[in-house]
Structures are given as C-alpha cells and as structure tokens.
C-alpha cells in the first residue's frame, strides 16, 4: 500500500525507498513531465480524465463565495473548473510540492485570462502552509498516491477545512470489472510507458505512475483511511468500472 511506512521505507512504484527520498523522487518525475503533463493526460485516458474531473465538480457543486484548496493541483485543472462554476466571490488556492508544475499551472491560467481569484503556493500536502479551518472545500485529483504518507496528508486536508467543509479525492483505483481489468492491465504496462517515452522522452516517469496506481489503496481501504483521519459521512463512487474512484468526506 503506497504511503504505508515500515522500517523507514515506503513504496515508490514497485520499489521500496527510504521515506525521506520519496518526495525528491516524485519531484523529479514531475519536473520531467510538467510541460507535456496535460497532453499526456489526454492521450493516456482518451480524454476521459476530463469527464472524471467534471464528475468531481458536479459532486462538489461549487457555490458563490466558497474557498477551495486544491492539493497537488498541478496545472490548475480543478481550480479553474471550480472557479468557472462557483461564480461571484469564489476563490481557489492551488498547492503543489513541485515548483515546475506550479509555474506551468500559473502560466496556463494567465494565458487563459484567469488573473484573479486564484493563488499558487509551493507546499507539501503532509505539512500544508495553510491556516487551519480556512477552506470551505479541499480537493486532490490524481495526487494522493504520490505523497509519502497518505494518512498525514488526509489529516492535513481535514485540518484546513472549516467545520462543515468537504473533502473530495479523485484517484485511480481498483478495477471492478474483470474483462476491463485485463485490458486495462495490458494497456497500463505495455502501452503507457512507451507513450510516455514518445511524448515526454521519459519512459521511467510513466512506468512509475503506472506502478504507483497498483500500490494505491483500493476503494474500501482508502475510505477507512479517511475515517481514521477524522472525516465523517465518507463514501465513494466508482468511475469507468473502477479505473478511477471519487471519494468524499466531511469535517463535521
């Protein structure tokens, strides 16, 4: 299980590494792919990741005046979608441990004319540089599996939420349909690393990303981790047969 520490080591894909090393290794992966990250998301998923992110925003149902903190926010996909829906007074803070991803997201927002209502912060999801009880909603999309200690990141996500605030996690998960599972396994290991090498020049980065999905807790296990972190009314919904799952929890 990714993020579970034993004898000072954690998973980095299928490898075990010293826990203090994982953040540096993950940072190197995203330094390598940041400029082609959005393109690769489209190619890898056939554009389906856009539907998954739309499902997250629909579930969140942003309202005017709400403040979002988006963790591992990368290129700002979730934050910009949130602001488009929240309307007047909505604000978003994007926090990512990788400075190159933050720069890519900020440049993308500026190029798209998004100049107000959004902040960009370089920070670790396990030690957020964000005040307690300051966010109405907190999200993380395809980023939780990359943190060193999942439990610590979940506790931090709850800490920054106001009472009554909501946390949503969109992440690759365990496929529930066997015919789809077999095809997905082949695609993941035989196709994605080669595609990553062709588009970004870094096969190893996408080999890691595939492996990190396999090490991530399954749906029920992640729900239990959220409950252990203090979230209430925890539930989840499978997307595309469980290739991804959308987990929800509240700070009540």
**CATH number, residue 234:** 3.40.50.150
The model's confidence at residue 72, banded by pLDDT at 50, 70 and 90, is very high
The model's confidence at residue 7, banded by pLDDT at 50, 70 and 90, is low
Residue 87 lies in a domain: yes
The number of helix segments (H) and strand segments (E) in the chain equals 10, 9
- In contact, 54 and 80? CB cutoff 8 Å: no
Residue 186 lies in a domain: no
CB atoms within 10 A of CB 221: 14
Residue 195 lies in a domain: no
The model's confidence at residue 2, banded by pLDDT at 50, 70 and 90, is very low
How do beta strands 9-12 and 161-172 pair?
unpaired
Q: Is the pLDDT of residue 172 over 50?
A: yes
**What is the reported pLDDT for 164?**
98
Residue 188 lies in a domain: no
Query: Between residues 93 and 193, which one has the greater pLDDT?
Result: 93
With residue 95 as reference, give the H or E element that holds it.
Answer: strand 91-96
Residue 194 lies in a domain: no
**What is the reported pLDDT for 8?**
77
Q: Is the pLDDT of residue 54 over 50?
A: yes
- The torsion angles phi and psi of 33, rounded to 5 degrees, stand at -110, 0
pLDDT digits (tens, 9 = 90+) for 159-169: 999 999 999 99
Q: Is the pLDDT of residue 252 over 60?
A: yes
Domain span at residue 96 reads: 9-177+204-251
Residue 231 lies in a domain: yes
Q: Is the pLDDT of residue 1 over 60?
A: no
Query: Which range, 15-19, 115-119, 174-178, 206-210, has the best average confidence (pLDDT)?
Result: 115-119
3-class secondary-structure state, position 12: strand
**What is the reported pLDDT for 209?**
82
- In contact, 235 and 223? CB cutoff 8 Å: yes
> Across the chain, what does the average pLDDT equal?
89
3-class secondary-structure state, position 129: coil
Distance, C-alpha 69 to centroid of its chain: 12
Helix extents (H) in 161-217: 178-186, 192-200, 203-215
Residue 198 lies in a domain: no
Distances 240 to 108, 175, 176, 218, 220 between C-alpha atoms, Å: 28, 8, 9, 15, 17
Angle separating helix axes 99-111 and 37-45, nearest 10 degrees: 90
Region 29-36: what's the mean pLDDT? 68
**What is the reported pLDDT for 33?**
65
- In contact, 35 and 248? CB cutoff 8 Å: no
- In contact, 166 and 248? CB cutoff 8 Å: yes
Distances 231 to 63, 95, 132, 157 between C-alpha atoms, Å: 21, 21, 15, 10
Distances 238 to 14, 56, 84, 177, 242 between C-alpha atoms, Å: 24, 12, 25, 11, 5
Residue 239 lies in a domain: yes
The model's confidence at residue 32, banded by pLDDT at 50, 70 and 90, is low
Least confident of 84-88, 126-130, 204-208: 204-208
How many domains, in total, are found in the chain? 1
Tokens for 141, please give them.
């999309």
The Cα 18–Cα 8 span in angstroms is: 6
């Amino acid at each position: 299980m990714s993020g579970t520490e034993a004898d000072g080591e954690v998973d980095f894909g299928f490898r075990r590494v010293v826990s203090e090393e994982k953040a540096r290794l993950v940072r190197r992966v995203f330094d390598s792919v940041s400029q082609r990250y959005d393109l690769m998301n489209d190619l890898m998923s056939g554009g389906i990741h856009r539907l998954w992110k739309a499902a997250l925003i629909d579930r969140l149902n942003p309202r005017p005046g709400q403040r979002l903190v988006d963790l591992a926010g990368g290129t700002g996909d979730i934050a910009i979608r949130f602001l488009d829906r929240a309307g007047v007074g909505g604000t978003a803070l994007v926090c990512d441990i990788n400075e190159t991803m933050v720069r890519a997201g900020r440049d993308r927002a500026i190029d798209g004319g998004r100049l107000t209502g959004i902040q960009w912060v370089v920070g670790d999801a396990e030690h957020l540089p964000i005040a307690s009880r300051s966010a109405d909603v907190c999200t993380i999309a395809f980023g939780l599996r990359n943190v060193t200690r999942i439990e610590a990141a979940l506790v931090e996500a709850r800490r920054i939420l106001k009472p009554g605030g909501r946390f949503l996690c969109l992440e690759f998960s365990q496929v529930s349909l066997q015919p789809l599972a077999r095809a997905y396994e082949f695609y993941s290991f035989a196709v994605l690393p080669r595609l990553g090498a062709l588009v970004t020049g870094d096969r190893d980065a996408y080999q890691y990303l595939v492996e990190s999905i396999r090490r991530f807790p399954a749906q029920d296990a992640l729900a239990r981790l959220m409950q252990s972190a203090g979230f209430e009314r925890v539930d989840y919904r499978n997307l595309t047969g469980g290739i991804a799952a959308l987990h929800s929890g509240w700070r009540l």
